[in-house]
Amino acid sequence: MSEEYHYDLVVVGGGPAGSSAAYEAARNGIRVAMLEKENSIAETVRTSGVTWIQNIKEFGIPDDCYNPIKNFSFCSPNNEVTISDSVPRAAVLDVRKTYRWLAQEAKQSGADIFVKINVNNVIKDEMGDIIGVSGVGPNGKITFHSKAVIDASGFPSVVVKAMGFATQWKRFGAGAEYEVKVENIDSDTWWLMVGQQYSPAGYAWIFPLGNNIVRIGVGVGKPESNVDPTQKLKELMDSKLGPIKKLGKISPIEFHYGLIPNDGLSRKTVFNNLILVGDSAGQANPLVLEGIRYAIKFGRVAGKVASDAIKAGNTDENSLKAYEENWKKEIESKINSAGKVQDRWIGLSDEEWDKELDIIKELKPEEFIDFIKAEFGLSNMIKLATHHPKLAVRQLFNLVKGKK
């Protein structure tokens, strides 16, 4: 049996980028379909859920969707530092609850949500421009016709690849984590673990969710290392290396695995009738490979720009370019600068990481957060160079300024 639908806008992907785009577009008065391949929104969790309180407040995410963090602990093979704050500035999301809240917001705004839809092809007009997508649904073949499409399909980027506009990401992070119940944890404190024994090209983490539940994970940069993060995670948990030993008894609840692009902002994100957003667009902070805040923020921008263009009767590339101009102005220079710092970090030896932590501990909490968030504005750089005369700190931030 074949099904066929007609909408103004089709959004492929039910993650934070897709739900945010569908929410904003439907709110703007057009007919929107959001397509999710899994049986339910966030059936599979593919991210550790780190984000920032400032963005949570901006997006209106409910308090019961996250655990606030105000202490940031780092350890390398022979060093350990903690930056403590009086107020929480970071957070660990309940990913499933947050994504479902975002999808519910889209639905309440008028978007139609379809699950179990595996998009595998695009529909083109005589000019070769996209005018819909097709795939397999619960009842067989399913087709969605539309005036515009937003590719929010995440790392796989199914729409833009089907159009032939992009190939697979060459550089990316692979992350494996267990959500576990533990005996001992300070729910205000996260841990980042660096150095070869934790990850050969990345880092390991302990992120608390509250109620003695934490996420223990390992991220490995590809192709910089061929180490399997799942195997490395098992080794760390079996040996209870570093701060993992402080957790006491560990009882696994759920396993998560995900991939996140780390090719920088290398893709064009607007074509005739098509916008890319979130991981499809490579909108990720290279320092800790987080991008949920970008997915929500620029998902909303994509939904607004697309719906305005549809209402105006013209969805060519020129009519959609305001979206690309928006995100480039907001994050392009910051992401490029963060990429330079990440390149430096990947090359550090264990001994160099030990020294790097001595640099990091010099930062005030708000300076540390700006740094880890990749908020590399010129005023931030000048302030840091003034406050921290240590040569190593100056070297670090001169590297960033040199990229600008």
Residue that the structure tokens 């729409």 belong to: 159
**Residues 86 and 182 placed together within one structural domain of the fold:** yes
Give residues with Cβ within 8 angstroms of 293, minimum separation 6: 51, 52, 55, 59
The CATH number linked to 128 is 3.50.50.60
**Residues 28 and 152 placed together within one structural domain of the fold:** yes
Judge whether 54 lies within some domain: no
Tell me, what's the pLDDT at 338? 85
Tell me, what's the pLDDT at 378? 54
Judge whether 49 lies within some domain: no
**Residues 155 and 273 placed together within one structural domain of the fold:** yes
**Residues 10 and 113 placed together within one structural domain of the fold:** yes
Domain span at residue 340?
336-403
**Residues 238 and 367 placed together within one structural domain of the fold:** no
Give the domain-ending residue among 261, 283, 317: 261
The amino acid that residue 296 corresponds to is I
**Residues 177 and 158 placed together within one structural domain of the fold:** no
**Residues 347 and 304 placed together within one structural domain of the fold:** no
**Residues 38 and 123 placed together within one structural domain of the fold:** yes
Judge whether 50 lies within some domain: no
Tell me, what's the pLDDT at 328? 97
Tell me, what's the pLDDT at 374? 83
The answer to whether the beta carbons of residues 271 and 297 sit under 8 Å apart is: no
Question: How far is it, in rounded angstroms, from Cα 302 to Cα 159?
Answer: 15
**Residues 310 and 278 placed together within one structural domain of the fold:** yes
Judge whether 295 lies within some domain: yes
Tell me, what's the pLDDT at 371? 82
Judge whether 87 lies within some domain: yes
pTM, two decimals, is 0.94
Give residues with Cβ within 8 angstroms of 351, minimum separation 6: 78
Regions of the chain with pLDDT less than 50? 391-395, 397, 399-404
The amino acid that residue 127 corresponds to is M
Nearest to 199 by CA among 179, 238, 228: 228
Torsion of CA 264, 270, 274, 277, to 10 degrees: 40
**Residues 151 and 285 placed together within one structural domain of the fold:** yes
- Helices 292-312 and 317-327 pack at an angle, to 10 degrees, of 150
Give the domain-ending residue among 330, 355, 377: 330
What tokens appear for 376 in the block? 């590399």
**Residues 81 and 201 placed together within one structural domain of the fold:** yes
The answer to whether the beta carbons of residues 317 and 325 sit under 8 Å apart is: no
Nearest to 42 by CA among 86, 1, 94, 6: 94
Residue that the structure tokens 């897709």 belong to: 18
For 231-311, strand residue ranges (E) read 250-261, 270-271, 274-276
**Residues 88 and 123 placed together within one structural domain of the fold:** no
Tell me, what's the pLDDT at 380? 58
Question: How far is it, in rounded angstroms, from Cα 362 to Cα 374?
Answer: 17
The answer to whether the beta carbons of residues 49 and 92 sit under 8 Å apart is: yes
Judge whether 279 lies within some domain: yes
Tell me, what's the pLDDT at 368? 86
The amino acid that residue 11 corresponds to is V
Tell me, what's the pLDDT at 394? 47
Give the domain-ending residue among 208, 232, 261: 261
